[in-house]
Amino acid sequence: MSERTIALVTGANKGIGYEIAAGLGALGWRVGVGARDDQRRKAAVERLRAAGVDAFGVPLDVTDDASATAAAQLIEDQAGRLDVLVNNAAITGGMPQEPTRIDPATIRTVVETNVIGVIRVTNAMMPLLRRSPSPRIVNMSSSVGSLTRQSGTAGELTTGPVAAAYAPSKTFLNAVTLQYARELSGTNILINAACPGYVATDLNGFRGVRTPEQGAAIAIKLATLPDDGPTGQFFEDGGVVPW
């Protein structure tokens, strides 16, 4: 079994996920680059390796049970355990998403990726995470899933556009993160949700104002928490995000 810290980042072929992989790799960790497309995954692994990262490709479509099972088997074969899982892959489902007009199929697709995909991958990796001395799980959420911010209560600013699939999928993900934290309390597994801020990526047509590297920072911080670090919480660079 490897002495080095082993991480898996889902949706790591581009955007924030790529920069999370690069940042964890810069710590000297072995990083599994989870990506569903063969060409995009190979290109990302090559780019990371050229930058000195000990990266390996992990074919992974988070909507596919067999793919998640095969990814766990690959990591078992490559490393024998998993120390850190960053559930980063997500989709918006396309905009606009007015609740009065949205096709229910869009909501199903978004929840399948952004919520059920996280549960599917986390549970496939759980036996490998349980072998780690300090397992960490980071779920990439968004402040658009904060009901407090969306409703403008508690003096918080409204956040994000009206989005009947994407925003509630992140609220759902936050709720699921808490359920895991409750079940896993008393174990050494810490699980938290992260918001990267408004980052220029494909997800928003590159309209974001932060760089993917800046967006990756909060995930890297939560991936490297000490054993007495928080669990079941929701963070951005500035601190705790209200539910």
Ligand X SMILES: NC(=O)c1ccc[n+]([C@@H]2O[C@H](COP(=O)([O-])OP(=O)(O)OC[C@H]3O[C@@H](n4cnc5c(N)ncnc54)[C@H](OP(=O)(O)O)[C@@H]3O)[C@@H](O)[C@H]2O)c1
Please tell me whether residue 150 binds ligand X under the rule CB under 6 A: no
Q: Scan residues 18-47 and list those touching ligand X (CB under 6 A).
A: 35-37, 40
Size of the site for ligand X (CB under 6 A): 31
Helix (H) or strand (E) holding 91: none
Rounded Cα distance between 68 and 73, Å, is 9
Contact 242, 159 (CB under 8 A): no
Q: Which of 5, 7, 9, 13 binds ligand X (CB under 6 A)?
A: 13
Q: Closer CB to ligand X, residue 156 or residue 188?
A: 156
Quick one: tokens of 158?
Answer: 């409204």
Largest Cα separation within the chain, whole Å, is: 53
The closest alpha carbon to 167, from 149, 183, 152, 192, belongs to 149
Rounded Cα distance between 55 and 41, Å, is 11
Rounded Cα distance between 136 and 235, Å, is 14
The closest alpha carbon to 32, from 64, 65, 76, 96, belongs to 76
Rounded Cα distance between 183 and 142, Å, is 23
Rounded Cα distance between 34 and 48, Å, is 13
> Minimum distance between the CB of residue 101 and ligand X, rounded to whole angstroms?
22
Please tell me whether residue 138 binds ligand X under the rule CB under 6 A: no
Q: Identify whether 96 is preceded by a cis peptide bond (ω within 30 of 0).
A: yes
> Minimum distance between the CB of residue 239 and ligand X, rounded to whole angstroms?
16
> Minimum distance between the CB of residue 68 and ligand X, rounded to whole angstroms?
10
Please tell me whether residue 89 binds ligand X under the rule CB under 6 A: yes
Q: Which stretch binds ligand X (CB under 6 A): 49-57, 97-105, 182-190, 192-200?
A: 192-200
Q: Which stretch binds ligand X (CB under 6 A): 47-55, 185-193, 195-203, 225-233?
A: 195-203
Task: Please indicate whether residue 166 is annotated as part of the active site.
Answer: yes
Q: Which of 140, 165, 178, 218 binds ligand X (CB under 6 A)?
A: 140
Please tell me whether residue 211 binds ligand X under the rule CB under 6 A: no
Q: Which of 198, 213, 221, 237 binds ligand X (CB under 6 A)?
A: 198
Question: Looking at the annotation, which residues are catalytic?
Answer: 166
- Interface contacts to ligand X, rule CB under 6 A: 10-11, 13-17, 35-37, 40, 60-63, 88-91, 113, 140, 142, 195-196, 198-199, 201-204, 208
